[in-house]
Structure 1
Amino acid sequence: MWINLSHQETTAIIASFSNEPIAKDLSERPHRDEDKLLSAALRKFDNEDVTPHELTHRTINGGYVVGSFWVTNEEAGIYADPALLKISNETKAKIAAIDGFHVKQIALNDNWAAKGRLGDRDWEFEFDGISWSFGLLPETWNDDRWIYTEDWKNEIDPSDLADESGHDQIMSCILLSIDNFSKSTKNQAHEPD
């Protein structure tokens, strides 16, 4: 686990544990070569998803640099942790009631987007600032792709909304789409041949 402490937090810990080894470790000043080694770590990985944090140990021939690597849920083969979605309790309850509903990723950039799984089918959500669409991808090559599209009710710039508002609005659109999908499949099941 990585803990990023502020200067005030570090000072408080040092004061609380002044006679303990942790106080000595936290009191050490960064090595004079730390910036150069951190820059070299960035060049070595040449990847915007790598963030070097600090030089942990300087040796004669270099140094050990602690860093963070960004890994997507898809790369790890996992779903988003529902507790981390910034949505209302009402929306959380509605999502929890849908069997087999999972979010793989959710992005609030210029265009909102989300991906996930519903039962045995993948889904995608996109919002371009004017309209949004939700699509259930085919499970097999002979299945149909089901798409639901709507114009956004109010003209908004997605970049103006905080994450909390954006996540909740995306999930509300997805819930509406899933409800329409459920209704359409029930209607098809009751249609005479």
Structure 2
Amino acid sequence: MMKKILLLLAVFATVLTNAQEINWVTLEEAVALQQKTPKKIMMDVYTSWCGPCKMLDKNTFQNKDVANYVNKHYYAVKFNAEGNDKVKYKGKTYSNPNYNPALANRRNSVHELSRYLRVSAYPTIVFLDEKGDLIAPITGYKKPKEIELFLKMFKNDDHKAMDTQEKFYTYSKAFKPEFEG
């Protein structure tokens, strides 16, 4: 009887945990979903060897406030910046012609799509608008309250009024985060 109760508790805990996960899709799926229901895209550009990328997954993307907000307002894409996937985007196919399978879990060549999206470090969170056009790449590890600023700024198109560094600074200083963590 006790084993059954423990099993039920484990299943229940798993269901609760999964309910707070981000619904990741491929870039092609996100762009197709935009045709039916326009939303912006948040793309996590990572590598398999990147420590801060793993921290972003564990500490930020598994945060319930972040996951709920992203799932509601964005299509979320996870993209390996040094992977070997072929990706169709904006009428072109991007690949990683210099990919070395022996280096799959170490530094590898950079994917063409990473270069196109102006990714220069890992992790980078790339934001795309409702038409799949680049808004901005945001470089570096972000805690939940730090990523909240960008999630809300881009979702509300507040970035369009920020044509200077000073305007962004003023906006960020006035921003009141609501996410836990």
Fold conserved between structures, TM > 0.5: no
The alignment's TM-score, normalised by the length of structure 2, stands at 0.26
Q: Which has a greater percent of helix? A: 2
| Higher gyration radius (CA) | 1
Tell which has more relative contact order, 1 or 2 (C-alpha 8 A, sep 6+).
2
TM normalised by structure 1 equals 0.25
